[in-house]
């Protein structure tokens, strides 16, 4: 029986860190919008515990979950290499889909899912919840204001120093940081890169401390005509971490992290003109002038994401769930579309081509 608030009835495939720790923990916070009615996992004890906690039906396979007529939306939070297959199975069964990252490793994967969603007339939603984060939105706002001038260079640094030895360090499971946390970092970069021509991509992937054969150190640079050069670092071998954000423009710059940002700028209209001169300087010195700087800062209003390995911040996930509800129930356009994430997957695919592994 559907309540008057008409919550979406949800089945979650996979009861690991994402299925249990993110979706199973946060969707119940919106009872007027979502009701988890079924969960599936190949580990019997895990699915039994989740089903009991969520008061949902325990399923031992995705096939069993998809057979549940009560399920409207399937959350695909199975291991990385199963995301595309499980999303296609759910769409072909007539279910809406919320797919965890990575949203496919190849553009062809995304195209197959988009086609299946269109054929089924269902919503296909990538779980790129970090696009809702406060610091990203603030950086975009400052850049769009023009106060920093023309943006020439951006560096995004997500640094840590740690070892990891679980299945997500194995290429045979599509593990590695490019697929695990890389989709969020690339999503940030592509938001700042903007629309237009597809970027030129340079990439370096290395395995440093993890026990598996996948990468845990990533360096990516993207650039394009009329676009800023954007450098991304996602690494487990940075003992001295640097700012998450460095934005460099022709009038100033910005730096900071997830909870604090600061920026400063020069108003060139209030500075004297400096026409070029081919004459030596009178005192044999370099050109110099006293710049009149203005500055500002921003502090986050709530908890921010703790980074790789930490429990993701709740706010962005809830924001995505609210928008997804409106898309499914009321036909509202998606804030994060599969087509936009397709461009991010194109960068991931290019990186795999540039740095081939045993994948």
Q: How many C-beta atoms surround the C-beta of residue 29 within 10 A? A: 12
pLDDT grade for 263, boundaries at 50, 70 and 90: very high
Domain with CATH 3.40.50.720 in the chain: 8-127
Contacts for 85-89 with beta carbons within 8 Å, 24 or more apart?
A: 86/13, 86/62, 87/113, 87/116, 87/124, 88/112, 88/113, 88/116, 89/62, 89/63
- Map residue 291 onto helix, strand or coil: coil
pLDDT over threshold 50, residue 233? yes
φ, ψ at 278 (rounded to 5°): -100, 10
Level-2 CATH architecture, domain 131-274+290-312+346-354? 2-Layer Sandwich (3.30)
What pLDDT score was predicted for residue 258? Answer: 92
* CATH fold of the domain at 8-127: Rossmann fold (3.40.50)
Residue 307 — very low, low, confident or very high, per pLDDT cuts 50/70/90?
low
Residues of the chain with CATH 3.30.360.10: 131-274+290-312+346-354
Q: What is the pLDDT of residue 283?
A: 86
Sequence-distant (≥ 6) Cβ neighbours of residue 359 within 8 angstroms: 105, 171, 174, 352
The mean per-residue pLDDT over the stretch 173-190 comes to 94
Q: How far apart are CA 177 and CA 49, in angstroms?
A: 29
Crossing angle (nearest 10°) for helices 338-354 and 182-193? 110
On whether the pTM is more than 0.85, the answer is yes
Over residues 146-156, the mean pLDDT reads 98
Residue 191: name the closest of 245, 116, 240 by CA. Answer: 245
pLDDT of 5 higher than 90: no
Give pLDDT tens digits for 68-94.
999 999 999 999 999 999 999 999 999
Q: Which helix (H) or strand (E) holds 151?
A: strand 151-159
């Amino acid at each position: 029986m559907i309540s008057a608030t008409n919550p979406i009835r949800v089945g979650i495939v996979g009861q690991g860190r994402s299925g249990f720790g993110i979706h199973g923990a946060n969707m119940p916070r919106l009872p007027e919008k979502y009701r988890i009615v079924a969960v599936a996992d190949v580990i019997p004890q895990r699915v039994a515990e989740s089903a009991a906690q969520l008061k949902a039906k325990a399923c031992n396979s995705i096939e069993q979950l998809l057979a549940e007529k009560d399920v409207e939306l399937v959350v695909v939070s199975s291991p990385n290499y199963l995301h595309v297959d499980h999303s296609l199975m759910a769409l072909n069964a007539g279910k809406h889909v919320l797919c965890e990252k990575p949203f496919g490793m190849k553009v062809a994967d995304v195209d197959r899912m988009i086609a299946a969603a269109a054929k089924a007339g269902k919503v296909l939603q990538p779980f790129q919840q970090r696009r809702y984060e406060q610091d990203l939105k603030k950086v975009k706002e400052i850049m769009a204001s023009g106060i920093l001038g023309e943006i020439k260079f951006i560096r995004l640094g997500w640094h840590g120093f740690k070892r990891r030895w679980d299945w997500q360090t194995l290429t045979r499971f599509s593990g590695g940081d490019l697929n695990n946390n890389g989709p969020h970092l690339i999503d940030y970069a592509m938001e700042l890169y903007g629309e237009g021509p597809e970027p030129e991509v340079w990439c370096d992937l290395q395995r440093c401390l993890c026990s598996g054969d996948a990468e845990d150190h990533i360096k990516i640079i993207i650039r394009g005509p009329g676009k800023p050069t954007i450098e991304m670092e996602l690494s487990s071998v940075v003992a001295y971490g640097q700012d998450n954000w460095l934005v460099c423009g022709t009038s100033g710059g910005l730096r900071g992290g997830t909870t604090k940002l600061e920026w400063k700028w020069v108003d060139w209209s209030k500075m004297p003109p400096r026409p070029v001169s081919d004459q030596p300087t009178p005192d044999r010195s370099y050109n110099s002038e006293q710049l009149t700087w203005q500055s500002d800062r921003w502090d986050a209003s709530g908890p921010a994401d703790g980074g790789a390995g930490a429990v993701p911040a709740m706010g962005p996930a809830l924001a995505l769930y609210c928008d997804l509800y409106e898309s499914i129930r009321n036909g509202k356009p998606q804030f994060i579309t599969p087509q936009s994430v397709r461009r991010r997957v194109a960068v991931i695919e290019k990186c795999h081509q540039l740095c081939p592994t045993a994948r």
